[in-house]
Homo-oligomer: A and B are copies of this chain.
Amino acid sequence: MAQIMLGKEVNASLNERIRAKAEELKAKGVFPTLGIIRVGQRGDDISYEKGAMKRCATLGVEVKQFLLPADVSQETLMETIQQVNQDKGIHGVLMFRPLPDHLDEEAACAALDPEKDMDGITSGSMAGVFVGHEKGFPPCTPEACMEILDHYGVDCQGKRAVVIGRSLVVGKPAAMMLLQKNATVTICHTKTQDMAAICREADILVVAAGQPDMVTKEFLRPGQVVIDVGINVDAEGKLCGDVDFAQAEPVVAAITPVPGGVGTVTTSVLVGHVVEAAARQEGR
């Protein structure tokens, strides 16, 4: 019987801190505002956007949407990015990715003001994550994983942490953040051999493989803390993670559910970044 690490429990205290900080800013006449740039109508984007807007409303953060057609030109996209960069009323920006194939995503990310980059997509933010300093903002998802570990009092120091996945959005930054917490970190990926044995060595396992139910009981042992970053749709159309929850839950010490785990916290981390960005920009 594992402890189920619930996103809503993590959010309870996290959201309290964010709301208090937003109130403080508003008392000074600063209204923390998130700009959302979305190209096209991808279901994933719209669903995330809905959640983010709801969370913003709850926590007292305003939203300005910039909705562009799926066939938007690079030029128009770049103009939109310049517009949000220059708008002092927008403190942070979320730009949905991947962008449609005809667009130059690298150029778009590079154009965004690093101080308004809420999700670690500019090279300045990525260097910050790599170096381990507090400038800029890391991507929201791996930071949500760290918030969960912190909330449940998981001490990483000297522990073996294994990350499955090496994306720039989750795997690599999660590895750097665990290293920052003094864990001994191993990064696994599609080319890893005997991944189950390596995962069994982990005290803390962060799974961002993007493969439904990939982590089965062979990957697990008693005492582990498992963070499941995956969000997949199973054969029956239900949301599931990268970890086979039914197999994992009887074995490990603690696990995040899907849905109701990392994803829930990610949205709060995003809103927290906007409030923090507003505070930093206000100080100038």
Contact = CB atoms under 8 A, between A and B. Distances in A.
Nearest to A124: B123
A130 interface: yes
Interface stretch (A5-13, A26-34, A179-187, A211-219): A179-187
B188 A184 contact: yes
A191 B182 contact: yes
A157 to B, nearest CB: 6
Interface residues of A, number: 29
A200 interface: no
27 contacts: A123-B127, A123-B128, A124-B127, A126-B127, A127-B127, A127-B130, A130-B172, A131-B168, A157-B191, A158-B191, A158-B192, A159-B193, A160-B198, A175-B187, A179-B187, A179-B189, A182-B191, A184-B186, A184-B188, A184-B189, A184-B192, A184-B193, A184-B198, A185-B186, A185-B187, A186-B186, A186-B187
Majority secondary structure, A binding face: mixed
Contacts of A189: 179, 182, 184
Given A184-B189, A185-B187, 13 more contacts: A123-B124, A123-B128, A127-B130, A129-B130, A130-B130, A130-B176, A172-B179, A179-B189, A182-B189, A184-B191, A184-B192, A186-B186, A186-B187
A151 interface: no
A219 to B, nearest CB: 14
A248 B179 CA distance: 28
Contacts of A193: 158-159, 184
A284 to B, nearest CB: 18
Contacts of A124: 123, 127
A166 interface: yes
A69 B124 CA distance: 32
Nearest to A106: B133
A51 to B, nearest CB: 28
Contacts of A158: 191-193
Contacts of A159: 193
Interface in A187-208: 187-189, 191-193, 198
Interface string A140-151: 000000000000
Nearest to A128: B123
